[in-house]
Amino acid sequence: MATNRTFTMIKPDAVANGHIGAILDHIIKGGFKIVAMKYTSLTPEKAGEFYSVHKERPFYGDLVKFMSSGPIVAAILEKDNAVEDFRKLIGATDPSKAEAGTIRQLFAKSIDANAVHGSDSDENAQIEGSFYFSAFEQF
């Protein structure tokens, strides 16, 4: 995967609250092209693996439980400066601190259920995209 790509998940809270369409609209209007996408879910084992960088953090158990609590949408997105620009589009981890108009400010209710994931580096975007999609599933 090229470095002009990032990886996102629409998290279980946003899917359950009916925000898939609005969030995808926001992403596309933000200038991102969807190059891979699937509606799926994570087992606790898979969620633990995905967020294994946070294994030692106090919120890890709750995060794994939440991320495996219901369906998600996983996608690879393309844009110049994708990782940084997507983090700007989603806003701060804690939605109460997210800038007006960002996806988390608009659609998230708490730091634990914060609507979307965005990769934090080009290297992680590559790893996370490959976690869900083979090369043949990326356009």
Nearer to ligand RTP, 112 or 122 (CB): 112
**Of 71, 52, 70, nearest in space to 61 by CA:** 52
What is the per-residue binding string for ligand RTP in 63-92, x denoting contact by CB under 6 A? Answer: x-----------------------------
Q: Catalytic site residue 117?
A: yes
**Of 63, 123, 117, nearest in space to 91 by CA:** 117
Residue nearest to ligand RTP (CB): 93
Side-by-side strand order, sheet with 116-118: 33-40, 72-78, 5-10, 116-118
Nearer to Mg ion, 55 or 139 (CB): 55
Q: 49 CB contacts (<8 Å, ≥6 apart)? A: 131
What is the per-residue binding string for Mg ion in 76-115, x denoting contact by CB under 5 A? Answer: ----------------------------------------
